[in-house]
Structure 1
Amino acid sequence: MPFTIAAPITFEEEIKKSRFQAIAVPVDNEQAVKTFLEQQRDSSTTHQCWAWKIGHQLRFNDDGEPSGTAGRPILATIEGNELTNVLVLVNRWYGGIKLGTGGLVRAYGGCAGQCLALAEKIELIEKKTVQFSCHFNEWAILQYELNSQQIEYSEDYTAEGVLVKAFMQVDQIDPLKLKLQDISRGREQLKILEDDQDD
């Protein structure tokens, strides 16, 4: 099961006079990543290194640190914690003592890891939007089904009956599909609406 973090979290530490600050935030798409990084731009820092992972997409940036010493270790901590839909930014304020490549890897990876260790992890549940129609006399049964499973939905009344849109967990779709076919005696079909996810 993929996990993400419940809320933004920060962690700070000092390593050989350099100050490191990690900020981890949940993100759903690349636009959220760009927006967050723009908001966090800070000219007082020496380096702003980051990594993110959303599904199978991932990126990292060393922001002027020697290649492979910052972004990649941050990404390794995200993957090591089996997280997705997460962005971790590590700010560094240089304190005058060089850490060397091994020291940088430990500092960036360690700071990101400590930050993620503080975060509350939640299961990332895939949801889809579905749509179906039914007659007025069938709606009460289906409405009860949606309410009992706490599924979000909206209903539109038409001349023929009710048009329903629901936002539900993937594992709830098949049982509802069968229920709808059963109640409408095969007349109605549940449609999964392709949402505009950036894949």
Structure 2
Amino acid sequence: MKTVPVGVSARHIHLSPAHIEILFGQGFELTHFKDLSQPGQFAAQETVTIVGPKGKFEKVRILGPSRSNTQIEISRTDAFSLGINPPVRESGYIDETPGLLVIGPEGEVDLEKGVIVAARHIHFHTSDADKWGIQDKQLLKVKVHGERPLIFEEVVARVSVQYALDMHIDTDEGNAAGVKTGDLAELIDEFL
């Protein structure tokens, strides 16, 4: 059986260096809170508030290190609460996406774009992908064995020597299946 650990991802934000300085002050560096499943990635101690046309969320965790473009990843349920309609996208693809107001302790940024519902995906180290015959961007089927087992289709394979094996789904998807971070999912050989 080809098993993959599951990571259920709550709403979060990735910030560009320029936006970190606007939100937290000139020369500010994110403070490490805890490591994430991907090497070099971490949850920062710092949080921000995000504001949409209908609502807001406070204490949205920042993930580091900084990125070239600011990006906010939320669930579909979050989108309804905020009053926006972001597309389901792979991370980094933010053209033609809605923006939000981001508020930090030292300033605010009115994003023109950058909000997505993250496409479900699996990070594969190249050695794992080679072992299982998986190509970058391949669409996979994955069964989760929670209290409400289900099969996720169109799970994007993301392959890199910089990745560690981990499946990422959002809180809506985790809740639907009754799975939590650390549970295992099964890769189904019948690929799309």
Q: Quickly name the TM-score band, shorter chain normalised.
A: under 0.3
User: Which structure has the bigger radius of gyration?
Assistant: 1
Structure 1 or 2: larger strand share? Answer: 2
Structure 1 or 2: larger helix share? Answer: 1
TM-score, length-scaled by structure 2? 0.28
TM-score, length-scaled by structure 1? 0.27
